[in-house]
Amino acid sequence: MSSQKQSVIILGTGSYVPDNIVTNDDMAKMVETSDEWIRTRTGIRERRFAADDEATSDMACKAGQRAIEASGVDRSDIDLIIVATMTPDMPFPSTACLVQSKLQLPNVCAFDVQAACSGFVYALGIASSMLQSGNFNKALIIGAEKTSPILDFKDRTTCVLFGDGAGAAVLSREEIEGAGILGTIGGADGSDPSVLQQPGGGSAIPASVESIQARQHFLKMNGKEIFKQAVRVMGQASADILEKLGYETSAIDLVVPHQANMRIIESLAKRMEIPMEKFHNNLDRYGNTSAASVGIALDEAYRAGRIQSGDVILLVAFGAGLTWASSLIKWQ
């Protein structure tokens, strides 16, 4: 999606997860599952579910506010908001517009990106290109997701996997050479949307009594198929961005992967021959927060002191679509 012309750097990050912790034992009260099954098959121990009156935009704003504070940027200088989400507050207006109003950002172009779990990395690539074009100066990108209302609590194969939250970053075009977002690539294959989809609620199957009775407004997934594809496309996206930018795997200091399943991350680590210590994971605490996951993990890694000046960081994600994306960053 972008290649480096000028340096676009991440000035600050932020994240937010709801207070309500739902453990695997709590899930076992809703569906026939166990802490042991969920932990050993996925690595998840607990996840957060947002309150009934807490929408995706509310979580996006909390993460966005923290990123703005961390960046030190005056909010009137932000001229672009991109929110990545597959669970917007409503089909329209965009969640980005709601964030614009709630965060009182007066001078922005605002829109949503729908690339499911790859959304944060897609948003990073798009924002980076728009800043490099010279038409925009500072961007707030947010991955935010309230997955809990679209989970089918009668389907144990999916409802135990996902959680709610938001991750954000403020990007700025700066006169710094050889640092920042070095490049971002993305890809998509929409040939079989049924592997991971929410079939109801759009123009193909508008909401009706029948669609609701058929549970078509819930997330449906062929987990085994997605698992296979995930390892392949994340491995390829990682190799491709390194090759494109002329970096060796050994140059990577930290990998921030999409948090879907620890076995997927371990397979990626093995495939790339990168030790697991170089991966930042929080899947055990938040589950799969879809478009929010890379943003939350990046913020956590930064605040935990895992990212230092000069570090090379690989972001890599995959999700419904299928979509995939990777980005290589040299921290300023």
- Contact between 224 and ligand UT7 by CB under 6 A: the answer reads yes
Residue 117 interacting with ligand UT7 (CB under 6 A): yes
The residue among 236, 240, 196 whose CA lies nearest residue 219 is 196
Stretch that binds ligand UT7, among 131-139, 220-228, 273-281, 294-302 (CB under 6 A): 220-228
Q: Which of 121, 260, 301, 307 binds ligand UT7 (CB under 6 A)?
A: 260
CB atoms within 10 A of CB 291: 35
Sheet holding 323-330, edge to edge: 2-3, 180-188, 323-330, 312-319, 254-257
Strand partners, 156: none
229 counts as binding ligand UT7 under rule CB under 6 A: no
210 Cβ partners below 8 Å, 6+ apart?
none
Give the shortest CB-97-to-ligand UT7 separation in angstroms: 26
In the chain, the N- to C-terminal Cα span, in Å, equals: 21
Contact letters (x/-) for ligand UT7, 76-115, by CB under 6 A? ----------------------------------------
Question: Using DSSP, how many helices (H) and how many strands (E) does the chain show?
Answer: 11, 14
State yes or no: residue 270 binds ligand UT7 (CB under 6 A). no
The two tokens of residue 180 are 């920042």
**Pick from 143, 53, 162: which is nearest to 96 by CA?**
143
CB of 198 to ligand UT7, least distance (A): 12
Catalytic residues: 117, 258, 288
Only one of the segments 31-39, 92-100, 240-248, 272-280 lies at the binding site for ligand UT7 (rule: CB under 6 A); that segment is 31-39
Interface with ligand UT7 (CB under 6 A), residue from 149, 187, 199, 223: 223
Three-class secondary structure of residue 152 per DSSP: coil
Q: Which residues bind ligand UT7 (CB under 6 A)?
A: 33, 37-38, 41-42, 117, 156-157, 160, 196, 221, 223-224, 226-227, 230, 260-261, 288, 319
